[in-house]
Structure 1
């Protein structure tokens, strides 16, 4: 079942500025945080040194500002990344609340990253770090809708076919004849959120579901 959103509801559910959950997601793994710290430190130190040498010229204050911006990269980098991801769904002209069920549950192995290392004989071998992902096929009385995938955790083992699921459906067409994207999803029976990225303001979405679905 699809219930079209009213004007402004999509923007309230998916903010332009990153939420706390989105910031933590965009911050990434410790390795990514370390990379941002190195970029911030190196870029900040270099530009601040340049600003000191150029302080007597009109470009000195400009280099100083650039240096401060570099030093704050650890903060504004994830905020910018999350804002860009939010914009990918906010741009759709049509959005609807979906309630259906999980038609099928699958798991697949995905390569997270790979690197070469020497074995006991000194030969280089490719080492792959894999992670299990869960894929949920969604459908309602009108048929198949789409798929939500996410890294699998222990709490996801309780998900079964037939579970009620709710999410947002985005489309370029007002009649939703072609689905452009799906948001992260809410399984109310399990009180569980799933998805690769936390697009939605979750308390607001749960409240919207209660208001709109109670009027069916």
Structure 2
């Protein structure tokens, strides 16, 4: 079942500015955080040194501001990344609440990172960092809708075929003949949210479902 939402509701459900969960999701793993810290420190220090040099007396204030911007990269980097992710879905003109069931679920091993390391003989070998992802096939009375996938953890072992699932379906067309994207999803029976990235303002989506799916 697809229940269309108003454009104003759609814009509220997917914020333009990063929410707390979105900021956390875009902060990344320790390696990504370290990269941001290095960029912030190197860029900030260089900009501040240039601002204090005798060759930049005309543009000193500009370099000073640039230095502080670089130093705050650890904060505005995830905000910028989250805003970019949100904008991809906010561009869709039509959105609808989807309520259906988990038609099928299966796991896949995906390579998240590849590194070269030296073995005991000093030869380089490729080491792959793999992670198990859970894929959910969604359908309703009209048939197959699409698939969502996300890194699997222990709480996801409770998901079963036939469970009710709700998410936001986005399309370029108001008749939803073709679905362009799916957001993260809500499993009301488990009171569990699943998805690769928290696109939705989740309490607002749960409240909207209670009002529109009675």
Give the TM-score taking structure 2 as reference length: 0.98
Looking at structure 2, the residues matched to 121 and 54 of structure 1 have their Cα atoms a distance apart, in angstroms, of 52
Looking at structure 1, the residues matched to 46 and 210 of structure 2 have their Cα atoms a distance apart, in angstroms, of 54
- Whether the 8 Å contact between 2:7 and 2:94 is mirrored in structure 1 is no
Deviation of the 1:55 alpha carbon: 8.2
Gapped runs of 5+ residues in structure 1? none
Mean alpha-carbon deviation: is it higher for 112-121 or for 159-168? 112-121
Looking at structure 1, the residues matched to 64 and 119 of structure 2 have their Cα atoms a distance apart, in angstroms, of 48
Deviation of the 1:53 alpha carbon: 1.1
Q: Mark the CA change 1:56 to 1:43 in structure 2 (over 3 Å): closer, same or farther.
A: closer
Corresponding residue of 2:57 = 57
Deviation of the 1:197 alpha carbon: 0.2
Over residues 133-187 of structure 1, what are the superposed CA-to-partner deviations in whole Å (9 max), with x where a residue is unaligned?
0000000000000000000000000101100000000000111000100000000
- Whether the 8 Å contact between 1:55 and 1:61 is mirrored in structure 2 is no
DSSP-derived class of the 1:114 partner: strand
Corresponding residue of 2:176 = 176
DSSP-derived class of the 1:109 partner: strand
Over residues 61-94 of structure 1, what are the superposed CA-to-partner deviations in whole Å (9 max), with x where a residue is unaligned?
0000000000000000000000010011110011
- 2:32 pairs with 1:32: yes
Over residues 2-43 of structure 1, what are the superposed CA-to-partner deviations in whole Å (9 max), with x where a residue is unaligned?
000013001110100000000000000011001000000000
- 2:112 pairs with 1:124: no
Q: Mark the CA change 1:128 to 1:205 in structure 2 (over 3 Å): closer, same or farther.
A: same
CA RMSD after TM alignment: 1.0
Aligned residues: 214
Looking at structure 1, the residues matched to 63 and 206 of structure 2 have their Cα atoms a distance apart, in angstroms, of 47
Corresponding residue of 2:82 = 82
- Whether the 8 Å contact between 2:113 and 2:129 is mirrored in structure 1 is yes
Corresponding residue of 2:207 = 207
Q: Mark the CA change 1:118 to 1:204 in structure 2 (over 3 Å): closer, same or farther.
A: same
Which 4+ residue blocks in structure 1 deviate beyond 3 angstroms? none
Deviation of the 1:126 alpha carbon: 1.1
Deviation of the 1:124 alpha carbon: 1.8
Deviation of the 1:205 alpha carbon: 0.4
Match runs of 1:106-117 below 5 Å:
106-117=106-117
Q: Mark the CA change 1:154 to 1:196 in structure 2 (over 3 Å): closer, same or farther.
A: same
Gapped runs of 5+ residues in structure 2? none
